[in-house]
Structure 1
Amino acid sequence: MILRNSALRQGRQVFTASCKASQSAPTGLRALSTDRLSPLPTAYADPSTLTTSSPQVAAAAAAATAVSNPRVLSAVAQATSSSPKKGPKRGKTASVSNRVANQFRRSEAIKDSIGDLGSTVEHRFRPSSLLQDPPRPEDVTLELLMSAQCHMGHHASLWNPANQRYIYGVRSGIHIISLEEIAASLRRAAKVVEQTAYLGGLILFVGNRKGQMEVVSRAAELAGACHLFSKWVPGTITNRDQILGKEQLKIVNEKDETLTGFEKHLLERRPMMPQLVVVLNPLENFTLLNECAQENIPTIGLVDTNGDPTKVTYVIPGNDDSIRSVSVIAGVLGRAGESGQKRRLADAAKGICTWRKPAELRGAAKEEATEKEDSHISAVMEQIRL
């Protein structure tokens, strides 16, 4: 307190001396007494409703009107230091409500005046629609692929020269994939998936990147196939007797109805292998691709500009980093598999079987028929003896 009073007194003496030297003391006093900061508007009160009832504002006003009196300055400083610090009081909210109402009326008037301008959006994009209702192969357009960012590749310095025929150009250092190549490759892969499903083949969808679990599951659900969204276990195909030996098998007819009487054959049968593998991220699943190549299993891969297209059988050039791009590609392939399954079941209802029995299964069926015939003959012979 003593230091503050001495500082104020010293400041007053310096200010008075400078005013006498320049003979402009009244002007300086007038400027000091009239230079006040106006309160800022808040969200609760209008600037016109704010008052100077705050102790800090009153102390500042008293200090401005009594600069020449050191006793008053010390008293004001003491009152300021001893007074509790409080924020500005909230004013009435009526003015704020009126201002908001006026702004709302103005915005409505502007909407009425320009309501006929602009375009009307008939179909709004919903991110979940790519999973709930994926597009069909015949619905694939260049606009759909561009909106899904399927044409965005990687940086030009990361490219694989084997992808040169799929690249349209470079923009801002990023490779742009040709939309025509994407559409043509996607339609060809969709035909492969549809025909495999029509012939009763087992299809496997693989996508184990972050965010691809729902995409892979939905595509496999549509196509009636299997899916994998976790890490691939090495040797699942080449060493399937040890890894998949305990998995359950069943034998079905052309209508997908379970057949009984083959329990003995199922105990001796090896685990099944997929007839087609769809990989959405080939870079992380190179082990799976190598195993498929060893067993002559065809593969479909979504290959980006930094990938190797020679690792898969049917290449779909496109962006494998965007969830929206992957959803479009997987959704189209899932719809193709769904179409193939519907065709197969429709032909099965007419008595047409679109797939052939495996050789070992035909042998098991013949053995079972022979056993039934022998048992029937033995039963007849027993009746004759009796």
Structure 2
Amino acid sequence: MADQPNRQAQQHEEVFEDEGISMKQLLEAGVHFGHQTRRWNPKMAKYIFNERNGIYILDLKKTVRMIHEACEFVKNLSASGGKILFVGTKRQAQESVAEISSNISCYHVTHRWLGGMLTNYKTIRSRVNRLIELDRMREDGSLSFLPKKEQIVLMKVRERLNKYLAGIREMDRLPDALFVTDVRKERIAVEEANKLGIPVIAIVDTNCDPDPIDYVIPANDDAIRAVRLISELIANAYIQGQKLAQERAEGAEGEMQIQASSGGAHSFDLPSGQEYEDFQEDEEDNV
């Protein structure tokens, strides 16, 4: 049984050529390990290969295919200018989610999800604006003109706002998709996205309900290496989409330049019907 994931790796290595990741990396990161058999959701049965020593083993063939589908969605989303909100408030995910999302200029929530972050976005945005205002006061020195006690209170407010909202500081509109590292932990975030029709990409372990997720990635959501690896894969797909958009823009610009150049060298006006008739009459008179 231990050889089965390795056989799957050999058969499906090519799926990741574009994404720049190998099945070997997935295996080494423990992506295929699920939860204990007594802690499972029957809806995940179709993604499970077998059980070993009381632990469910995920079907790597299906994991590979669904990662590929998720990456294609992310690539197309990125190419059209869409933004992703990464959500990972669990300890194992916080550092990698914050780092990876920032590297691709997307957004993240790595501490407690505040209820209404999506469904009551207007109020959340007002708190973000308050954070920006407090930072400005600190930077331009206007904060120093306030009484010391008030300065301390405002800085405590600023620290709290920054803790929960720093990752969405630049998010001036609702995201175009969510990437979630733990469906159970981020249940409220998933529910809010579902209500607003925002697509959800998620790492879904054997103890989770896959139904609310648009792009299920059956994988281990507890191992730090597994979470980081899949997060990086999503980020790489996003970067590919950005490159695709740039290539399209450059191609369109080049085509316009060619058309402009061609039009300038060979442009002429066709004669109107009346002009053509006048020309014929002149020719007949000359004859």
- Provide the TM-score with structure 1 as the length reference: 0.48
- Give the share of equivalent positions with the same residue, in percent: 31
Separation in 1, partners of 2:102, 2:128: 20
The residue that corresponds to 1:332 in the other structure is: 233
Residue pair 2:19, 2:233 contacting (<8 A) in 1 also:
no
The residue that corresponds to 1:305 in the other structure is: 206
Once superposed, which parts of structure 1, at least 4 consecutive aligned residues long, lie more than 6 Å away?
none
Q: Max radius of gyration: which structure? A: 1
| Residue 210, structure 1, aligned to residue 91, structure 2 | yes
**Secondary structure, counterpart of 1:331 in structure 2:** helix
User: Which residue, 149, 165, 180 being the options, matches 2:30?
Assistant: 149
Worse-matched range after superposition: 160-169 or 141-150: 141-150
The Cα offsets for residues 177-235 of structure 1, whole Å up to 9 and x where unpaired, read as 01111111111111111111110012111111113223112321343311111111101
| Residue 294, structure 1, aligned to residue 195, structure 2 | yes
The correspondence of residues 294-373 of structure 1 with structure 2, limited to 5 A, is 294-351=195-252
Residues 222 and 343 (structure 1), Cα distance of their counterparts in 2 relative to 1, 3 Å cut: farther
- Provide the TM-score with structure 2 as the length reference: 0.64
Separation in 2, partners of 1:309, 1:148: 22
User: Which residue, 25, 34, 40 being the options, matches 1:159?
Assistant: 40
Greater helix percent: which structure? 2
Q: How far did 1:137 drift?
A: 5.0
Q: How far did 1:139 drift?
A: 3.3
Residue pair 2:104, 2:235 contacting (<8 A) in 1 also:
yes
Residue type of the alignment partner of 2:222: D
Separation in 2, partners of 1:327, 1:349: 33
The correspondence of residues 164-313 of structure 1 with structure 2, limited to 5 A, is 164-245=45-126, 247=128, 272-313=173-214
**How well do the aligned residues superpose, as a CA RMSD in angstroms?**
2.0
Separation in 2, partners of 1:302, 1:239: 25
Q: How far did 1:247 drift?
A: 4.4
Q: How far did 1:350 drift?
A: 4.5
Higher RCO (C-alpha 8 Å, min separation 6): 2
Residue type of the alignment partner of 2:31: C
Separation in 1, partners of 2:98, 2:187: 21
Worse-matched range after superposition: 160-169 or 140-149: 140-149
Residues 169 and 221 (structure 1), Cα distance of their counterparts in 2 relative to 1, 3 Å cut: same
Q: Which runs of 5+ in 2 are unaligned?
A: 1-15, 130-170, 254-287
